[in-house]
């Protein structure tokens, strides 16, 4: 059976809550599945997500899966919960009365139907009348024509999904045009405003990070800077005593946490809690950054401390989006090892390569997963494990 790279991309509502994920994949032995192999690819994808569990990949959200007309009659689809699955057809699909009847049957059974990038004319009307969602690729529709295209689609009872929304400006534009959902990586980019100073809470976080990651800091310094923040100390102790760590004894103080967890783990935990404690950021950004950091640790080359360094690289790669400042400015204020700095900023060195691979997997840009040692199946398992860990971590942090 062919192994495949697996990934997902969130689809947000206007409040930046992920309501669905598009499931992404690529065969491990080919860059692109050709049309003759399209059914086999879809079979592999569906089997893979059944094996790993759709709930594990998307939680309670819906799953958008690209399908071919041939697979719409496959018994495999019956193994999914129809209410959770959206079947996505490409714009070049050739449809006839048989396909339209199949779509009617699937709609009645409760499956969602999505179509990509359809222009409105008499030839596409039968599909538009049966679709629940229509995706609009911002990269494919010229900006001056976007409003007219949206107006034409609004004549049909469909929800509009803006696709490839890569900037906050595009997100605002699509909101103004009345799109219902938004797909793209705009949420993981910083909101940079010229002349804006850093808020007090973000400044405090940066000062905390500088102390935690100063190689000259003694153990007492690390404990002291954590204890200076009552909120951080409380959340750290609550989180350290959660099911994530499953420690044999309850941790009662920061000093006790140092003994039980070790200085480096305590530092990383405090960093994690400090960076993810900002309430004005969408939870999906926190989830994405945490999963990226965990995936970097899993992909790190063998060697003592390498997984910890890779985790830090992955975590700090999202610092700009969390803090709304350029990465170069933020890292200039932190006493990081040059290896870590170059990995985050320039993708240099072994940890830079790990970060580049993790980002490519995260975005479904599988052609740019360049780590030679990566095998698709364990890499996909590592990705899903990272998502699992991020979900559990967020749940425990919210309870702390």
Higher pLDDT, 42 or 72: 72
Question: Left if phi > 0, otherwise alpha if psi is -120 to 50, otherwise beta: which for 364?
Answer: left
How high is the pLDDT of residue 1? 41
Higher pLDDT, 8 or 372: 8
Longest Cα–Cα distance of the chain, Å, equals 74
Range in 5-14, 94-103, 204-213 the model is least confident about: 204-213
Greatest mean pLDDT among 159-173, 184-198, 224-238, 302-316 lies in: 159-173
State which fold the 200-399 domain adopts: Hypothetical protein af1432 (1.10.3210)
Q: What is the CATH number of domain 4-186?
A: 3.20.20.450
Quickly state the pLDDT bin for 288 (edges 50, 70, 90). Answer: very high
> Does 4-186 match 200-399 in CATH topology?
no
Q: How many CB atoms within 10 Å of residue 129?
A: 12
The whole-model pTM stands at: 0.83
Higher pLDDT, 196 or 267: 267
Beta-carbon contacts of 223 under 8 Å, excluding residues fewer than 6 positions away, are 254, 255, 258
Q: Where are the alpha helices (DSSP H) in the chain?
A: 38-52, 54-58, 97-109, 125-128, 143-153, 168-177, 200-212, 219-227, 230-240, 254-261, 263-275, 283-299, 306-316, 319-323, 327-332, 338-346, 349-363, 376-399
Higher pLDDT, 315 or 279: 315
Higher pLDDT, 37 or 178: 178
Quickly state the pLDDT bin for 374 (edges 50, 70, 90). Answer: low
Q: Structural domain boundaries of the chain?
A: 4-186, 200-399
Q: Reply yes or no on whether the pLDDT at 395 is more than 80.
A: no
pLDDT one-digit tens code per residue, 137-167: 999 999 999 999 999 999 999 999 999 999 9
Query: By the 8 A CB rule, do 84 and 110 touch?
Result: no
Question: Left if phi > 0, otherwise alpha if psi is -120 to 50, otherwise beta: which for 382?
Answer: alpha
Alpha-carbon span 68 to 210, nearest angstrom:
52
Nearest CA-CA partner of 177 in 186, 165, 191, 188:
165
Nearest CA-CA partner of 165 in 16, 64, 291:
16
């Amino acid at each position: 059976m062919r192994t495949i790279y697996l990934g997902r991309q969130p689809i947000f509502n206007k409040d930046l809550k992920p309501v669905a994920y598009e499931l992404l994949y690529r065969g491990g032995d080919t860059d692109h599945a050709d049309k003759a192999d399209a059914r086999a690819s879809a079979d592999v994808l569906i089997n893979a997500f059944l094996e790993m569990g759709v709930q594990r990949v998307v939680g309670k959200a819906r799953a958008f899966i690209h399908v071919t007309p041939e697979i719409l009659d496959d018994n495999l689809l019956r193994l999914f919960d129809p209410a959770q699955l959206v079947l996505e057809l490409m714009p070049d699909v050739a449809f006839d009365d048989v396909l339209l009847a199949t779509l009617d049957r699937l709609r009645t059974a409760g499956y969602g139907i999505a179509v990509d990038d359809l222009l409105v004319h008499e030839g596409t009307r039968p599909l538009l009348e049966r679709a629940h969602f229509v995706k609009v690729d911002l990269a494919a529709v010229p900006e001056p024509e976007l409003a007219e295209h949206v107006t034409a689609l609004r004549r049909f009872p469909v929800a509009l999904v803006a696709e490839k929304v890569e900037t906050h400006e595009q997100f605002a534009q699509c909101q103004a045009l009345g799109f219902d959902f938004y797909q793209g990586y705009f949420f993981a980019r910083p909101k940079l405003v010229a002349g804006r100073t850093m808020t007090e809470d973000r400044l405090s976080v940066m000062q905390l990070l500088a102390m935690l990651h100063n190689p000259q800091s003694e153990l007492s310094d690390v404990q002291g800077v954590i204890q200076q923040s009552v909120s951080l100390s409380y959340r750290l102790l609550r989180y350290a005593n959660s099911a994530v760590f499953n420690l044999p004894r309850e941790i009662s103080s920061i000093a006790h946490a140092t003994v039980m967890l070790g200085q480096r783990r305590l530092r990383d935990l405090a960093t994690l809690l400090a960076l993810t404690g900002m309430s004005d950021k969408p939870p999906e950004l926190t989830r994405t950054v945490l999963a990226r950091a965990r995936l970097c640790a899993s992909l790190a080359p063998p060697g003592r401390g390498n997984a910890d360094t890779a985790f830090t690289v992955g975590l700090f790669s999202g610092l700009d989006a969390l803090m709304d400042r350029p990465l170069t400015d933020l890292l200039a204020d932190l006493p990081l090892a040059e290896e870590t700095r170059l990995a985050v900023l320039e993708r240099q060195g072994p940890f830079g390569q790990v970060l580049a691979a993790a980002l490519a997997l995260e975005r479904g840009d599988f052609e740019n997963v360049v780590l030679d040692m990566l095998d698709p199946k364990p890499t996909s398992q590592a990705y899903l494990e990272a998502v699992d860990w991020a979900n559990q971590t967020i749940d425990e942090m919210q309870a702390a």
